[in-house]
Structure 1
Amino acid sequence: MIDDLFNPQSIAIIGASRDEEKIGNVILKNLIASGYPGKVYPVNPSTPEILGIKCYHSIVEIKAPLTLAIIVLPARMVPESVDNCIKSGVRFIIIISGGFSETGPAGNVLSDEIYSLISKSNTRLIGPNTVGLYLPYSKVNTTLTSYERVSFPPPGNIGFISQSGALGLLTMDAISEYGIGISAFVNLGNRLDLDEADFLDFFESDINTRSVAMYMESVRGGREFYERIRKFNRKKPLVILKAGRTEQSARAASLHTGAMATNDSIFDGMLSQAGSARAYDETELMDYAKVLAYSKQMHGNRIAILTTAGGVGVISTDYVSDTQYIKPLQMASLSDETKRGIRKVIVPYGSAQNPIDLTADGSVDDYDRVLQILDGDPGVDGVLVYALPQTPKMGMGIVDVVEKHMESGKPMIVGVLGYKIAKQLLCEFEKRKIPAFPSVSRSVKSLRALYTYSVSRGEIQ
């Protein structure tokens, strides 16, 4: 079990540095800045202290129990350091250093030496060639990028596994702008020991994780991988972004991590059968993970659209009605009773047809009343609500209205378009764990991902 890795009681940094441009300095500062409550042991034979913390000449000098050691040394020095960690009883090692299987034959020799040591021990390893971990619940940040350069997400409910460190960091930076939280981030690096299956095991039982987003460039053990993600999807949603879909990108992926890519059509079929949602860029990856973490399952594909902007409704109808998908959505046919009820709410020049247009005169109370009507229509399986803050009667109260109907009514996605006030509104929806998105396409794609996952879970009758 690797549970203790996600709540380490003590951390050693082998290769800690006084030089602010060195990774060993950045990691130490990150642990301090994150508020890590455990004991930190910098290891550097050339200095007595760094940032006021006592340094040790070697890890073997540290007599206290060590949960985790982070190695930031030249590749040639790493095998000896790993050996010392094992002898010192370190439970987990993260090798930040590159220069291993991703570099060719010489790197493979070093990797084999490290693997030989690890395989004969009780110590587990992440990497090499990794940026490490970000664990907001445990206040642990072992990544190699400082808080001055990257915004890190708050605690949340999305587990994040990535074979690319840079993609992981830039994705976390992007979602932090809207306050989207994660339960943990793990960069696998070269996967010499621990791999995605080990971390899926952890996230499957982790109480803070509702869904997992995973970026991959290659797959190990096709059948075993399929069985593992199929098992995971029975309990929690798994969204996968896999690069290497073309011959050229597959070649680039092998140069990046030293691993062989997988035939994309086979992989696509595997994901479909296993019930995982597939994303095609980092934005979709987090959008789908968010909607699957926050939303109840859908029982059909019939969608009602509620907006105060006719043009937004028309564009959304195009997206919803797109039939190129194996499991398409469709516009709901509202019952006569539903349309009569809506006409009593909206202004005469609004539309009670689907998409429902409240016009710019639509108020928060109008949204509440129309959503109540839609809740009672058995021909509606999900609702796409556009909360457009540019209209004069729209206010922050829309968040309360949507929250109320999400709890008692049908599955719901919110679109919040624009920027000036929209960003504030999006952040407020995020605080309430309401799936809200800043564009028409992202809103509808996320709704489709929710429907597709619901089908895979057998929720659709």
Structure 2
Amino acid sequence: MPDLDFLLKPRSVAVIGASTQPEKVGGMPIRLLRELGYAGRIFPVHPTASEIQGLPAYATLAAIGQPVDLAIVAVPAVATESVMAQLARNGTRAAIFFTSGFAEVGDEGLAMQVALAESARRHGVVLLGPNCLGVMNLRERMFATFSPIPLTGVPPAGDVGLVSQSGAFGAYAFALAREAGLGLSHWVTTGNEAGLQVADVIEWMAQDKDTRVILAYMEGCRDGARLRQALAAARAAGKPVVITKVGTTEAGARSAQSHTASLAGEDAVYQAVFDEYGVHRAHTIEDFFRLGYTLSRGRRPARWHSPSGLLADAVAPVAIVTVSGGVGIMMADRAEELGMPMPPMPAAAAKALRESIPFASTANPIDVTGQVVAQPAVLLDAMAGVATCGEYGSVVAFLAGGANAPRLWEELQRTIRALHEDKRAAPLLLSGVVDDDKRAWLEAHGCLVFREPAHAIEAVAALARAAAWEAAASVPVAEAAAPVGALLRDVPDDASALSEFDAMRLLADAGVPVAAHGLARDADEAVALAQRIGYPVAVKLCSAQVLHKSDAGGVALNLTDAAAVRKAFAAMQAALARADASLPFEGALVARMVRGWGELMVGVRRDPVFGLVVLAGIGGTAVEIFRQMAFGLAPLSPERARAMLEHSRAAVLFAGHRGNPVLPLAQAADLLVRVSKVAAALGPRLDTLEINPFIIGADGAVAADAVITLLPAGGSRA
């Protein structure tokens, strides 16, 4: 992990390209550092000026006469190479390059950026940028940026770290954090990422004692392993990460050679990574800050569980107390959408509420009605009762504007103060209209406040997931299996695929159940195989060069006698000749026709950023129509595999629907795990692996088809 202390906690800052005019790029950081309370030394560097903004100026970095922790560089792109040499000679450990005109302008700029990055690595300089907006450390009042936004006010120093690839988004986020009163620890923009990436900053913040929650804005990632390492570090440190990842279409997916390649779009892969490490995904700027607020200030639920056994699916049982039946229903709808249990009110508490207000609803949501205006104690007793009964992980109360009523506010303060002091009580979240002073008091006593009722329910869901990940922070993330070259020992280095026979054999050797099958070189052998396997059978063209056999007329199904097998074998020879007359005929695969009531697809594709990604869902010929796939990173854990089956709705195939027998879902999950381990073992040679379909029948799931495509040994396919 790069050491970012010199970047984010410098004792001295040099501004190379300093300007006497504070509004310019080389002038603004000097003004900010001076006016906003930075305690370290500031060294303006300018070739001719003797003084800049009231500070002595230096003609060169060397003229300062001592090493400087951080250099801010605001000179033209063509001068940056000589500046980097100066930094190396001076012993400067970190540099921020505001300068634009690099990779964002074309090939020439890219070449300069590559040279700058190499020079920084060679000289041991931590490089941020180029083309970035800089950094801020709110606790140390260190503002190394040319954005003027801090001049209009800064957020309070807090425990939320913010990193953004985009400077414009970063500046906007800074302003919104200030408006929301969200306390920031550090603020970093990475720009072109010639040196530091978002992942480097996330990992540093994971170790930073002043940061508890990490917010990140990403447009893309070119080093998936690095990002995974950073997210694992945050997970191990028990620090929630919220990411807004833009670019959610399938534009990044490669053109389809198989269902596997076409279905695993870029965003689905990112989501699989986020799920693997417990990242909270924010799809809007409002979500971004609301999640930051929730995770920074919110108490974790007193109780939570995961129906799937997967941490990302953790939920907390919630009690909803409301003064409006309609709003309570809306909140309950959102809770159900999020899978959050809503146990009924305990009998004793329900009896007491009905005695006070006979027409109140004691189900969950608990509707105390508008009678609360006349009887505030009823609302408060209901809130306290469900918070302390031990049945609920969290309590959400909708008060409308009731908190502004003086009598209710006084009683509410007493109740909330008591619950805050009772460490066994479930956390309380409020929804309603309150003024800033009341909000501050409520938050100081552990009570989050939301104007939108559904947002309070969503906050409970986020806190439940955070609690699950924090409780399991010490559990290591599964590591990828080491490649096993023996699996491909007989495969040529330039082979682009395995034949279906070889693919099925490889899977069978790994313990994946496959349909009974054999390879026939002539028609007599095909008939003998069919008789040994048992009719009906399928006969399929066997060729590593013709992967989509159905399209080429290379598949014959439900053959019931020898004559049909002979005819099909001849058809396979003709199909190969039509596809490519130059290809040698390797034979035909003869396989038992597997009977069942459902089809499951399992695939693996190599993502250019994150490596091997597994997808699973309902399969067969309709897979491209429904596209209901779930994703995970290879190799899968049993919990992740089971969750994939549930998220893709493929689990219904094993649940005994339409009178079919119930099959163990754990058995199906084990199939996914085995396939993912085969993929991981194939290592850098694997391009895609697809089994479509697994036939689901009374004996479980059996692979009826398999396609494995390969990359050349020692390289990648163009």
| TM-score of the superposed pair, with normalisation by structure 2 | 0.57
Structure 1 residues 73, 432: closer, same or farther in 2, change over 3 A? farther
Determine if contact 2:353/2:378 at 8 Å carries over to the other structure: no
Matched, 1:437 2:450: yes
Q: Which amino acid aligns with 2:57?
A: C
| Aligned residue in 1 for 2:409 | 395
**Does residue 365 of structure 2 align to residue 355 of structure 1?**
yes
User: Which residue of structure 2 lines up, in the alignment, with residue 289 of structure 1?
Assistant: 292
Q: Which moved more, 1:68-77 or 1:295-304?
A: 295-304
Q: Tell me the equivalent position of 1:334.
A: 345
Structure 2: runs of 5 or more not aligned: 254-264, 305-315, 473-718
Could you tell me how far 1:149 is from its partner in structure 2?
Answer: 6.4
Task: Give the aligned residue type for 2:419.
Answer: H
Say if 1:388 and 1:422, in contact at 8 Å, map to a contact too.
no
CA distance in 2, matches of 1:433, 1:211: 17
Aligned position for 1:36: 38
1:403 and 1:72 map into 2 onto residues whose CA distance is 52
Greater C-alpha Rg: 2
Tell me, in whole angstroms, the C-alpha distance in 2 between the residues paired with 1:23 and 1:379: 58
Q: Distance in 2 between matches of 1:245 and 1:59?
A: 44
- Give the Å deviation of 1:17: 1.3
* Secondary structure of 2:185's aligned partner: strand
Deviation of residue 161 (structure 1)?
A: 1.3
Deviations 1:381-440 (A, max 9, x none): 2111335445524437746744652452113333243xxx53443344455564333322
Structure 1: unaligned runs, 5 residues or longer: 251-261
Compute the displacement of 1:212 (Å). Answer: 0.9
Contact 1:178 1:423 in 2 (8 A): no
Q: Is the 2:32–2:150 Cα contact (8 Å) retained in structure 1?
A: no
Question: Contact 1:101 / 1:111 at 8 angstroms: preserved in 2?
Answer: yes
Contact 2:166/2:189 (<8 A) preserved: yes
Letter in 1 for 2:177: I
Aligned: 1:411 with 2:424: no
Instruction: Return closer, same or farther for 1:335/1:195 CA change in 2, 3 Å cut-off.
Output: same
Q: Distance in 1 between matches of 2:435 and 2:400?
A: 7
**For each residue in 1:250-298, what CA deviation from the matched residue of structure 2 results, as whole angstroms up to 9, or x when unmatched?**
9xxxxxxxxxxx8111111111122111111222122223322333433
Secondary structure of the 1:65 match is: coil
Q: Which of the numbers 321, 327, 331 marks the counterpart of 1:316?
A: 331
SS in 2 for 1:141: strand
CA gap of 1:145–1:310, structure 2 versus 1, over 3 A, is farther
Which of residues 153, 173, 176 is equivalent to 2:175? 173
Distance change (3 Å), C-alpha of 1:193 and 1:396:
farther
Read off the aligned partner of 1:447 and give its amino acid letter. V
Query: Measured at CA, do residues 51 and 287 of structure 1 come closer, stay the same or move farther in structure 2, by a change above 3 Å?
Result: same
1:377 pairs with 350, 365, 389, which one? 389
Aligned 1:29-428 pairs, distance under 5 A: 29-147=31-149, 150-234=152-236, 235-246=238-249, 263-298=266-301, 299-300=303-304, 301-322=316-337, 325=338, 328-343=339-354, 350-358=360-368, 359=370, 360-361=372-373, 368-389=380-401, 391-392=404-405, 393-395=407-409, 398=412, 401-402=415-416, 404-406=418-420, 408=423, 409-417=425-433, 421-428=434-441
- Indicate how the Cα distance of structure 1 residues 306 and 32 shifts in structure 2: closer, same or farther if over 3 A, else same: farther
Residue identity opposite 1:442 in structure 2: H
Q: Whole-Å Cα distance in 2 between the matches of residues 397 and 220 of structure 1?
A: 55
1:226 aligned counterpart, secondary structure? helix
The superposition leaves residues 180-234 of structure 1 with CA deviations (integer Å, 9 ceiling, x where unpaired) of: 1011111111221122332233222222211111111112332442243134213
What one-letter code is carried by the residue in structure 2 that aligns with 1:77? A
Find 1:450's aligned residue among 438, 443, 463: 463
Instruction: Work out the CA distance in 1 between the residues paired with 2:136 and 2:16.
Output: 18
The residue that corresponds to 2:538 in the other structure is none
Aligned-partner Cα distance in 2 for 1:138–1:397: 40
Check conservation: 1:30, 1:147, Cα contact below 8 A: no
Whether contact under 8 Å (1:371, 1:405) holds in the other structure is: no
- Does the C-alpha gap of structure 1 residues 80 and 387 become closer, same or farther in structure 2, counting only changes over 3 Å? farther
Letter in 1 for 2:467: S
Letter in 2 for 1:438: R
C-alpha distance 57-295 of structure 1, shift in aligned 2 (>3 A): same
| Alpha-carbon distance in 1 for matches of 2:173, 2:140 | 20
Amino acid at match of 2:448: P
Shift of 1:349: 5.6
Deviates most, 286-295 or 28-37: 286-295
Q: What is the percentage of aligned positions where both structures have the same residue?
A: 25
Compared with structure 1, are the counterparts of its residues 102 and 293 closer, same or farther at alpha carbon in structure 2 (3 Å cutoff)? same
Instruction: Kindly indicate whether the alpha-carbon contact (under 8 Å) linking 2:70 and 2:93 is maintained by their aligned counterparts in 1.
Output: yes
Cα gap change, 1:361 to 1:232, in 2 (>3 Å): same
Distance in 1, Cα, partners of 2:180 & 2:432? 12
Contact 2:160 2:184 in 1 (8 A): yes
Do the aligned residues in 2 keep the contact of 1:364 with 1:401 (CA within 8 Å)? no
Whether the 8 Å contact between 2:6 and 2:70 is mirrored in structure 1 is no
Structure of greater relative contact order (alpha carbons < 8 Å, 6+ residues apart): 1
Distance 1:208 1:396 in 2: 35
Equivalent pair of 2:420/2:445 in contact (CA under 8 Å): no
Cα separation, 1, equivalents of 2:137 and 2:198: 17
CA contact under 8 A between 2:251 and 2:266: conserved in structure 1? no
Asked if structure 1 preserves the Cα contact closer than 8 Å seen for 2:103 and 2:113, the reply is yes
Aligned length: 440
CA drift of 1:331 comes to: 2.6
